[in-house]
Copies of this chain bind each other. A is one copy, B any other.
Amino acid sequence: MGTAKLLDSQWRSSYVTQRLKAFAQRCRERGMSVTPQRLGVIKALLTCENHPSAEEVFVRVRRHQKHISLATVHRILEQFCRVGEARKVTPLHDTARYDGHVEPHHHVVCVGCRCVRDVEIPEADRLLKSIPNLGEFAVLGGSLEVYALCAKCRSKSQKTSNRRNSRPKTKSEAACLSVQAT
């Protein structure tokens, strides 16, 4: 038996206060101004236990800021992801991907072009089998998503390594980069 366990809300709340305390500080270091909207979003995001959607964050912030715009929440959340203040639970796809290969297996995803490849990782399978439950959750299976850079994107990012963020920000941009299929 392993040491896997749920992170409890006690842990979470101490993490939250720690993160919240220095938020304004970190903003200034990054040259971002500290606005009520940004404070509202980071607070809602950290406070909410639920991996909330943009919409959910919006609703929460609006409790205290009647006039905040949903578009602003989207913008701020994406910005937070760029600067490392938040992350998407699934940065993998903007749109669903399908796989004809239905036996259990894992994936590598290139964070540059978002191409996906199948991977076999027996250790991960063994690991998953060794976890029958996580707190109240009855484990059914799982999938290891490995984030990586493919060869093309590695060479590409060397040339542009001094640019700002190499991750494509818009769908159209991502589409331009994406590798052509057969």
Interface pair A95/B53, CB less than 8 Å apart: yes
Contact A102 B84 (CB under 8 A): yes
A33 at the interface (CB under 8 A from B): no
Copies in the complex: 2
Cβ of A22 < 8 Å from any Cβ of B? no
**Residue of B96, B102, B122, B151 touching A136 (CB-CB under 8 A):** B151
Chain A interface secondary structure, helix, strand, loop or mixed?
A: mixed
A123: Cβ under 8 A from any B Cβ:
yes
Pair A137/B148 contact, Cβ less than 8 Å: yes
* A binding-site residues for B, Cβ under 8 Å: 2-7, 12, 15-16, 19, 42, 45-57, 77, 80-81, 84-90, 92-102, 105, 107-108, 110-111, 115-124, 127-128, 131, 133-151, 154, 179, 181-182
